[in-house]
Amino acid sequence: MARRKYVVGNWKMNGLSASIADARAIFAGVAGHPAVDVALCPPFTLLGAMAAVPGAVVGGQDCHRAALGAFTGSIAAPMLADAGASLVIVGHSERREGFGESDGDVRAKAEAGLTAGLSVILCVGEPRDVRESGSAIDYVLAQIAGSVPDNFDPQRLAIAYEPIWAIGTGLVPTVDDVAAMHGAIRGALAGRFGAAADAMRILYGGSVNGDNAAELLGAADVDGALVGGASLTSAKFLPIVEAAAVLG
């Protein structure tokens, strides 16, 4: 099954109101590549303003498992949708590692996002010691088993494989390693969901940039990229989108 390439920028805790100019430049450039799905996930404070940018597709970087309630400082999935978001990232390693989120927590957040009508990007990935021990695939497939909900529209949930040791470090696994992991993820999804898994996109994330995007995006079962620091400006982000467009 042919799957459209999907390139998503995660701005993390970066961006003030002046950064909307960068978003305008990015989405203006993206307009020239209609065959690629592109989105930006800014801080919550910029969601509304960025959603108003012509051609923008925006998402949240996290959401609470509950739709409302006494959870000071948290953001519910319906709030994201109300602010103009069409997707949400859940289970990023910075949430799993820094905030102690379990597979069960990530699953509940994914279900909350889907229930609110959002698409979901669900992140998985291994730390360096697990990679070096040779058990990276088993580790990631256990995250898949524990984090991915049972009932959902497969076109509304994407998996993002981000080896923790490659995020923001400049280190990148070999293309063969990326292809092997994505193939294992695809196989696990197919084993669980059957033919419906063909519609699910699997993104790669971890020090993706304009120089390595074509090689990484050309690997088997790599349907796009989840991009961190390189998504903050059009000069760095658009070459990744262009590489995706060439690959179709």
Catalytic residues: 92, 162
Q: Which of these, 108, 197, 120, lies nearest to 160 by C-alpha position?
A: 120
Asked if 117 contacts 110 with a C-beta cutoff of 8 angstroms, the reply is no
Asked if 74 contacts 44 with a C-beta cutoff of 8 angstroms, the reply is no
Long-range contacts: 232-238, Cβ < 8 Å, 24+?
A: 232/9, 232/11, 232/14, 232/15, 232/19, 232/22, 233/22, 233/25, 233/26, 234/22, 234/25, 234/26, 234/28, 234/29, 236/209, 236/210, 237/9, 237/26, 238/26, 238/29, 238/30
Torsion of Cα atoms, 175 then 180 then 182 then 185, to 10°: -170
Taking a C-beta distance cutoff of 8 angstroms, is the pair 8, 59 a contact?
yes
